[in-house]
Structure 1
Amino acid sequence: MLYRINRALPRDIRAQALHPVPGTAHARFDAKARTYEYHVRLVPDPFSPDFSLYLDRAPDVAAMNEAASMLLGTHDFTSFSKVKGSEKHYVCTCFDAGWHVVPGGLLFRIRANRFVRGMVRLVVGTLLTVGRGKMTPQEFGEIFRSLNRVHASGAALANGLFLCRVEYPPELLQNLSLPTGLPYFSSK
């Protein structure tokens, strides 16, 4: 079955394991948390333009982290959502959001119980505006609290964004044994 699924998937997507779950389980709605990462290169690399955003100048990471800290907790993310999305509400609980220096660049990691359409790319784009000095962390907070998408910066390019982890309740993952080195799903 795994072989057949992988044959049907695009080349850049691979299933690593199959695990039976109850018939009522829903991959999207039963998830308790998701983690996205956004990759920014500060050093030119001809092998990664499809997988990261290149910046020719390092942004102010401290200012971006100061602004990102305002995302923590339960908030309405209307300011960082696609206009006229199909969402019934824009309230999300953000558990973690911050920039990390990595070899050759930066990594933005955000973990929340849910995300609204376009949210991560809009957050990253606006945080990068803070990092470039075109907006203060306080102005970022004002935009976030305004619940008005018009004031946020443009969305960051999609090529640096990756869904890295999905967390499910323990009862869905009982007796699950994933191949080693696959930290993508957990039962936290």
Structure 2
Amino acid sequence: MPRYKLTIEYDGTDFSGWQIQPNAVTIEETLEKAFSTVLQQDVDLVGQGRTDAGVHARGQVAHVDLPDHTDLEKLLPGVNRMVGQKIQVTEIEPVSDDFHARFDAIARQYEYTITTRNIPVMQRYAWALYQPVDKKLLEECAALLKGEIDFAGFSKFNEDNFTTLCEIQLSAFEFDGEVIRYHIRANRFLRNMVRRLVGTMVHVAQGKKSINDFQKKLQKPAFKIPTHTAPAKGLILEKTFYKKV
């Protein structure tokens, strides 16, 4: 069957993440049910990676094998109507039969949004802070995240990890009035890694930890200083990058 690459957006607030789980509503399961219903046969989606409960996406990617002569112009609207307004497949394109959404990805980019006060219309998509932050310290922390780093100290243990090394290609804060956005791009990410980095950087910028402690934790993951995990709602998977499709 021909293979297709899907680009997917979703509001993850009411979902237990991407990956199918027993007794929980997930993005992957919701999409597979919709595709299977429209096509009247079982369909298996393979995602580039999973996002945790409450995390959002603009650029999640999956691949799927569909029957010959599938009418894509009818399939996509049918699937999008069935999954509801919180999930949408924004693009479907043919790819080679050996394309793999996960293994062919060369980088992923995330955005984390922070507000310096409670902004009601952003409550579902941002971490509202109630203490001031030193923006210069945030920038200094972000500048430490360059090149290949062992993030074992900033991630949730996962026995499936073959390595805890990640190569950081972009790490930068963007300031826009009461809104702060952090952008990070890497070849791979570990579970809770971005949220723990953001939460700990914010604690440094609020004077709860020193930048030296942050740097030591990066250099020596076993260093005995606790990290802080930022809320899931501020995190968005922006884009997944590929050499080829």
Q: Distance in 1 between matches of 2:135 and 2:107?
A: 25
Contact kept, 8 Å, 2:158 with 2:191, in 1: the verdict is no
Q: Distance in 2 between matches of 1:21 and 1:152?
A: 44
Shift of 1:149: 7.9
Deviations 1:28-86 (A, max 9, x none): 22111111011011133211111101012331111122122111101111111102453
* 2:8 corresponding residue in structure 1: none
Shift of 1:9: 3.1
* 1:124 corresponding residue in structure 2: 198
After TM superposition, the score normalised by the length of structure 2 is 0.65
Q: Distance in 2 between matches of 1:119 and 1:149?
A: 16
* 2:237 corresponding residue in structure 1: 163
Contact kept, 8 Å, 1:33 with 1:111, in 2: the verdict is yes
Q: Distance in 2 between matches of 1:162 and 1:57?
A: 23
Identical aligned residues as a percent: 31
After TM superposition, the score normalised by the length of structure 1 is 0.84
Q: Tell me which structure has the larger Cα radius of gyration.
A: 2
Aligned partner of 1:30 among 86, 104, 107: 104
Q: Distance in 1 between matches of 2:113 and 2:224?
A: 25
Deviations 1:112-144 (A, max 9, x none): 111011100010111011111122222101011
Distance 1:149 1:21, change over 3 A: farther
C-alpha RMSD of the superposition: 1.7
| Counterparts of residues 43-58 of structure 1 (less than 5 Å) | 43-58=117-132
Q: Distance in 2 between matches of 1:85 and 1:132?
A: 33
* 1:135 corresponding residue in structure 2: 209
Q: Distance in 1 between matches of 2:111 and 2:233?
A: 11
| Residue ranges of structure 1 left out of the alignment (5+ in a row) | 173-188
Shift of 1:8: 4.2
3-state secondary structure, aligned to 1:75: strand
Q: Distance in 1 between matches of 2:188 and 2:98?
A: 20
In the alignment, residue 151 of structure 2 is paired with which amino acid?
F
* 1:21 corresponding residue in structure 2: 95
Instruction: Tell me whether 1:69 sits opposite 2:160 in the alignment.
Output: no
Q: Is the strand fraction higher in 1 or 2?
A: 2
| Residue ranges of structure 2 left out of the alignment (5+ in a row) | 1-74
Higher relative contact order (CA 8 A, sep 6+): 1
Q: Distance in 2 between matches of 1:25 and 1:107?
A: 32
In the alignment, residue 186 of structure 2 is paired with which amino acid?
A
Shift of 1:101: 0.4
Distance 1:11 1:116, change over 3 A: same
Q: Distance in 2 between matches of 1:110 and 1:63?
A: 17
Instruction: Tell me whether 1:60 sits opposite 2:141 in the alignment.
Output: no
Deviations 1:13-42 (A, max 9, x none): 211111011122111221111110110111
Q: Distance in 1 between matches of 2:222 and 2:100?
A: 31
Distance 1:149 1:38, change over 3 A: farther
